């Protein structure tokens, strides 16, 4: 029996990964991390989306310690989400160590379940400038987990080389574009669906959707060639 664990936030990217995983694995277990994030309602959205799509299970893990250690606009309500980069070249929504922690815990959970893969929706093509969304980082984490647990594990990143238009195309390929558009939460300000329309996450998501809808045939062809 093929099993996978999806690192799941209930946003566009992780939901698209879940949709694809459900077609490839016998069991798909979702794990969502509660770190007292700014858009706290993503926990409820993740639970609703996982149930609606038929995930085998959905685990919510309390990792509030991350909030204490990592200062970011996503962990502090008094820090507005900015469109400008900080002096270090990173957006102020970057949560240092987040994906290090998430992938480590998801790897442990996969070990417990006997799952062969951990799936995460990180992307290097159209992304928010986070260093822990890059392919080199994921490969290093994968190697560390295999060495540290002495067990084969595959961290899969289905969206790594897709742009946002192609990510929308992937959801449409499985007949779930409307579901992803209307039911997921990507917005940093916690607005479900089309979002607040102002934050960087909404901007990236909306540009990708418009790009796909305006050129469906070519974007789908590009997706299918990858």
Tokens 């540009």 belong to which residue? Answer: 207
Task: State yes or no: 37 annotated in a binding site.
Answer: no
23 is in an annotated binding site: no
**Which residues 6+ apart lie within 8 Å of 44 measured at CB?**
none
Check whether 12 is labelled as a binding-site residue.
Answer: yes
pLDDT digits (tens, 9 = 90+) for 32-67: 999 887 667 889 999 999 999 999 999 999 988 888
The response to whether 9 counts as a known ligand-binding position is: yes
What values do phi and psi take at 208, rounded to 5? -65, -40
16 annotated to bind ligand: yes
187 is in an annotated binding site: yes
Largest CA distance in the chain: 48
Could you tell me the pLDDT band of residue 199, with boundaries at 50, 70 and 90? confident
Which domains, and CATH codes, for the chain?
3-225 (3.40.50.620)
Distance in angstroms (rounded) separating the CA atoms of residues 3 and 141: 20
Say what the pLDDT of residue 3 is. 98
If you average pLDDT over residues 103-120, what whole number do you get? 98
CB of 138 closer than 8 Å to CB of 160: yes
Count CA atoms within 13 Å of residue 51 on its CB side. Answer: 6
Q: What is the mean pLDDT of the chain?
A: 91
Residues shown for the chain: 226
Query: Any known ligand binding at 11?
Result: yes
Q: Which residue has the tokens 């770190």?
A: 35
Indicate the pTM of the whole model.
0.92
pLDDT mean over 123-143: 89
Is 10 marked within a binding site?
yes
How many H-runs (helices) and E-runs (strands) does the chain carry? 9, 5
Ligand-binding annotation for 25, yes or no, is no
> According to the annotation, is 8 in a ligand binding site?
yes
For 72-95, how does the pLDDT look when each residue is reduced to its tens digit (9 = 90+)? 666 666 666 656 566 666 776 677
Residue 195 annotated as binding site: no
């Amino acid at each position: 029996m093929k099993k996978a664990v999806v690192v799941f936030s209930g946003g566009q990217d992780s939901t698209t990964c879940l949709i694809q995983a459900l077609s490839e694995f016998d069991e798909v277990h979702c794990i969502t991390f509660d770190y007292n994030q700014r858009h706290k309602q993503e926990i409820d959205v993740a639970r609703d989306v996982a149930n609606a799509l038929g995930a085998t299970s959905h685990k919510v893990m309390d990792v509030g310690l991350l909030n204490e250690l990592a200062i970011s606009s996503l962990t502090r309500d008094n820090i507005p989400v900015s469109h400008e980069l900080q002096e270090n070249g990173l957006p102020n929504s970057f949560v240092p160590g987040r994906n290090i922690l998430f992938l480590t815990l998801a790897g442990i959970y996969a070990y417990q379940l006997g799952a062969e893969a951990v799936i995460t929706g990180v992307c290097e093509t159209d992304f928010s400038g986070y260093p822990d969304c890059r392919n080199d980082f994921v490969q290093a984490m994968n190697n560390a987990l295999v060495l540290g647990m002495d067990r084969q594990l595959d961290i899969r990143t289905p969206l790594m080389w897709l742009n946002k238009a192609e990510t929308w195309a992937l959801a449409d390929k499985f007949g779930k574009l409307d579901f992803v558009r209307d039911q997921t939460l990507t917005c940093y300000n916690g607005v479900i669906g089309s979002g607040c329309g102002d934050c960087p996450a909404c901007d990236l998501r909306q540009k990708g959707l418009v790009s796909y809808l305006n050129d469906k045939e070519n974007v789908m062809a590009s997706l299918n060639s990858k």
